[in-house]
């Protein structure tokens, strides 16, 4: 009888240890998976930021090329260039992102300068 109780107690202890090891392993794997997921998200975020920055710079270049044309506009070419500038600002608004306000300021300066000529 007593020997049987010891056997049962031993089996329970072994089961508890096994369960504990299993839980520790699951926790470790969960933490590993979480770390991997976070790293992947960070990589994706950095990539998307780089793409956004690239688009912004490209949009700024495109806008500035039209701004340059407006700066040297003649009274005859001014209306068409003004329209072209308005169109490009609208078309590149999304891509310009943070640079948009600066591009609008440059456009306004160019328009003002061109109108004085």
Could you say which DSSP state residue 73 is in? -
Rounded to two decimals, the pTM is 0.68
Digit-coded pLDDT (tens) for 19-58: 999 999 999 999 999 999 999 999 999 999 999 999 999 9
Domain assignment of residue 11, yes or no? no
Cβ atoms 96, 58 nearer than 8 A: no
Contact 96, 61 (CB under 8 A): no
Indicate whether 108 pLDDT > 80: yes
Is there a contact between 74 and 99 (Cβ–Cβ < 8 Å)?
Answer: no
Considering the domain boundaries, does residue 14 fall inside one? Answer: no
How many angstroms separate the Cα of 90 from the Cα of each of 73, 86, 102, 113? 20, 6, 14, 21
Query: Is residue 61 in some structural domain?
Result: yes
Residue 10 lies in a domain: no
- Whether residue 4 is contained in a domain is answered as no
Task: Please tell me the total count of domains within the chain.
Answer: 1
Cα 49 from chain centroid (whole Å): 3
- pLDDT tens digits for 98-107? 899 999 999 9
Q: What are φ and ψ of residue 5, in 5° steps?
A: -65, -40
pLDDT digits (tens, 9 = 90+) for 61-72: 999 999 999 999
Contact 47, 91 (CB under 8 A): no
Residue 73 gets the label, from left (phi > 0), alpha (psi -120 to 50) or beta, of beta
Q: Flag whether 45 is in a domain.
A: yes
Range of the domain at 28: 22-116
* Contact indicator for 60, 41 with CB cutoff of 8 Å: no
Confidence bin at 117 (pLDDT 50/70/90): low
Could you tell me if residue 17 is inside a domain? no
Tell whether 89 is covered by a domain: yes
């Amino acid at each position: 009888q007593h020997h049987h109780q010891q056997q049962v107690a031993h089996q329970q202890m072994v089961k508890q240890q096994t369960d504990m090891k299993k839980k520790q392993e699951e926790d470790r794997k969960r933490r590993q998976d979480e770390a991997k997921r976070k790293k992947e998200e960070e990589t994706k975020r950095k990539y998307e930021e780089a793409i956004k920055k690239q688009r912004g710079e490209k949009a700024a270049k495109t806008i500035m090329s039209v701004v340059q044309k407006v700066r040297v506009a003649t009274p005859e070419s001014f209306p068409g260039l003004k329209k072209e500038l308005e169109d490009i600002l609208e078309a590149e608004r999304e891509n310009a992102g943070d640079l948009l306000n600066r591009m609008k300021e440059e456009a306004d300066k160019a328009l003002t300068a061109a109108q004085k000529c």
